[in-house]
Amino acid sequence: MKLLPFILCSSHYSPIVAAVPEDVGTAGALRAIAHHLTAKDILVVTGDLVSDIPPGAVAAAHRRHDAVVTTMLCSAPVGGPAESGSSAGKDKIKKPRWYNIIGLDLAKQFLLHIATGAEVDKDIRIQKSILHAVGQMEIRSDLMDAHMYAFKRSVLQEVLEEKDKFQSLKRDVLPYLVQSQLRSEVLLNGVLSQAEENGNEKVSSQNNHVMVSQILANASTPSFHELYASGHNGSASVQRIHKCCAYIASNSKYCSRLNSIQAFSDINRDVIGEANHLSGYSFSAHNNVIHPSAQLGLKTTVGPHCMLGEGSQMGDKCSVKRSVIGSHCRIGSNVKVVNSVIMNHVTIGDDCSILDSVICNNVQLQKRVGLKDCQVGAGFVVTAGCEYKGESLARKEK
């Protein structure tokens, strides 16, 4: 599954679409429209985010702290978020689970450390200066970077220009800003000492080390940047200090990224289940959605947390459980659909069984087809009597 390689921005209230090559990444996409960005702060939202969290809440937190970046964090799926691009079927078993390792201050407002895509069993290294600065840090692996960022535009443009090799906001830009936020220089007895350089502390004496710790100890307080911006009592000069903040979404809010086939299936089920307020549909007394124009055969059942779209028809003795069926589908008799998503204009013959699968638009399944953990591409025809498990079926491009 690939997202279209374009980025949308607004200039003088008119939308602008800039096409970019697929391999430039999110940072490269922003470089392509950098000259269109003029606001003091900008909000960057990935196209695969499904959430009811108002972006204005993130923007408000960003402005309140005068941060250079504020990232939205939400609860990670149980077992950790799958790596982007994974699918159902065989890949669902083979691909490892990846995690974000996130360090927060005790007030959970400032982002002090982030390691994205790090496996849990790998060593995690944290800068000593960070620990000296905050005294205590809360390390979390149960939070997901939702890919909603508020940036101070001038700082983002400077980073994108100076770090022309950066491709990803998540893997390059955000960690860089977090790692550099406590970089400082201390003038002690006429000697300039660098407190932080490339992640390693370089101090000329124990006294300098103590001075750095004392200054950075205030870094997690809102007044730090005003207090030390131009030196404190003439003894210290802190340069290039900025704030990286986190907005942690409430557990009552829905937040998920549609970045894999498995996530696509899960989100579809969520929207007709626990997150049904996102669907915009009215649910029946049976806790499902059946369009008034849909037709059901004799002894056909559509269970709770299911949806049957406009103009779709089902034959006799069919069973649908925890699945979404789109509009204008033609489904024969004695068909079983479980934990699956069937898109629009799909034709399914008699006696078919579909389990944990995604079927795209205009697919035709002939009689007695069995699918388990499969994805079927648009317009594909599955021959009668065939059975597939853990397969991706698609038409060959000419």
Neighbouring-strand partners of residue 320: 302, 337
So what's the pLDDT on residue 299?
96
Higher-confidence position of 247 and 208: 247
So what's the pLDDT on residue 97?
53
Residue with tokens 């695969």: 48
Q: How far apart are CA 139 and CA 136, in angstroms?
A: 10
Alpha-carbon torsion (103, 105, 107, 110), positive or negative: negative
Mean pLDDT, rounded, for 199-217:
39
**Statement: the pTM of the whole predicted model exceeds 0.85:** no
Mean pLDDT, rounded, for 151-174:
91
Mean pLDDT, rounded, for 293-313:
95
Mean pLDDT, rounded, for 31-52:
90
Q: What are the tokens at 396?
A: 């060959």
Q: How far apart are CA 76 and CA 265, in angstroms?
A: 17
Mean pLDDT, rounded, for 188-216:
40
The per-residue pLDDT for range 218-267, each reduced to its tens digit, is 444 444 444 333 344 444 333 336 889 999 999 899 999 988 888 898 89
Neighbouring-strand partners of residue 295: 313
Residue 49 phi, psi (nearest 5)? -85, 125
Mean pLDDT, rounded, for 195-200:
41
So what's the pLDDT on residue 281?
81
Question: pLDDT category, 134, cuts 50, 70, 90?
Answer: low
Average confidence score pLDDT of the chain? 78
The per-residue pLDDT for range 102-126, each reduced to its tens digit, is 888 888 888 988 887 654 456 666 6
